[in-house]
Amino acid sequence: MVSSFPFSRSFSGPFSRPLSRPSAFDADAGAYIDAIVAAGATVSDTQRTAIGDFYVAAKADGYYTSLKRLYLPIWGVAAANAIDMIGLTSGTFVGGVTHAAGYVKGNGSTGYFDMGATLADIGVSTGSASIFKLVKSGEASNSYSGARNAFDHGLMVGTASSSLLGRCPAAGSQFFTAITGLSGIFIMTQTATAARASYRRLTSGFVTVASNTTSDATALPALKPFTFGALNTSGSPQFFNVGEYGLGGIAIGLNASVAESFSSSAKILWETATGLTLP
Amino acid sequence: MIGYITTPETAQAILAAIEAAQTSRGLPVYWSTGSYPIHTGEHSGQTFLPFDDSMLATVLHQGMTPLDFPEAQQLIAMLGGLDARVDLPAIAIIDPNAPTLDA
């Protein structure tokens, strides 16, 4: 006999229905989580959700395909920290690097992270290139990420003497801009041969630190950028640094709007996944 | 800096062995001690392999530290054991001819 009353949500058991179906978890997020768990990372439900939300936001905001290498070295395990969130490739931690909960830290003498691919390998070229890193704290003067060749051409971002340095591609068109404090998310971008900018996100907000339209079509070097801990100078590590880094990578040129959106999502991801707070 | 001073050839062999310990397990090369030419001081011309206690305590993969890999014990023995490590000033591996960065 069929009841004339519809099943209500107050019933328990097989006849109850949730208010709404949960959306499927992002496949790329799931693949990244599977990879870092296989490497030995422990991922909480909060972290899982934060990672999934980042992928969804990046795709919805249209910049996910611009990200070419993205590292979230918060897991306390070298193999997990070395895994790229975009392509699941692995870089190499070299020398003295501390793998703490929420960040990695160079020892200032031998430690750095080699992402293991040149800019050309990952489709980044003059006219459309970005390098970025999240500095939790501890950054000192002459702390650079990226690469430069014997002609001093490169893709770099870093801090020196209380200033933010950004270069893409030649020293003649680089930025060297005084900033207060050496923490935050730093992004150096070239979006056209004659357009480049450096950005910074803190908890207080997002700013364009410097920008110019100096025409510069110099080719980027065929080197493998070091994301954390040192600068790749013609194939050798230089300027070993001691900062605490929570995120970093390379992208196709992120303009101001995209850099603002990306850095906002990156901040949320890192803070939610670590319980730490961006300065 | 705590580690070993050795010849460039031995250093390359050590690095290759570290890489093989990872790739032979079907893993990418996610960790290395690295090797650093010694530019100044009494050991100039030799190569430095960092091997301090902090590095040896690094969790590499699935809870394992370098000392949990049998190959690491063999490599350390080749280099004379942990007591054969020396303390090298950091400045010794800084190339005095490396270009400065104009900022």
Q: Indicate whether A19 pLDDT > 80.
A: no
- Which amino acid would we find at residue A96? G
**Burial class for A58, CB neighbours closer than 10 Å (0-12, 13-18, 19+):** buried
Residue A192 is predicted with a pLDDT of 81
> Is A177 at the interface with chain B, CB within 8 A?
no
User: Chain A 42-101, CB below 8 Å of chain B: which residues?
Assistant: 76-79, 82, 89-99
Structure-token pair, residue A21: 């179906």
A189: left (phi over 0), alpha (psi -120 to 50) or beta: beta
ipTM topping 0.95? yes
Give me chain A's average pLDDT, please.
90
Which pTM was predicted? 0.92
Confidence category of residue A10, pLDDT binned at 50, 70, 90? very low
Confidence category of residue A100, pLDDT binned at 50, 70, 90? very high
Contact B35, B14 (CB under 8 A): yes
Contact A152, A218 (CB under 8 A): no
Q: Indicate whether A162 pLDDT > 80.
A: yes
Chain A residues whose beta carbon lies within 8 Å of the beta carbon of residue B36: 95, 110
Residue A7 is predicted with a pLDDT of 42
Compare CB distances from B60 to A78, A96, A152 and report the shortest one's residue.
A78
Lowest mean pLDDT, pick from A134-138, A139-143, A228-232: A139-143
Q: Which of A164, A202, A207 is nearest to A185 (CA)?
A: A202
Confidence category of residue A23, pLDDT binned at 50, 70, 90? low
CB-CB under 8 Å, B60 with A79:
yes
CA–CA dist A49, B48 (Å, integer): 43
Angle at A103 (CA atoms; ends A97, A105), nearest 5 degrees:
30
CB-CB under 8 Å, A94 with B32:
yes
Lowest mean pLDDT, pick from A186-200, A239-253, A255-269, B3-17: A186-200
Q: Indicate whether A14 pLDDT > 70.
A: no
Contact A104, A226 (CB under 8 A): no
Structure-token pair, residue A133: 């890193």
Contact B35, B17 (CB under 8 A): no
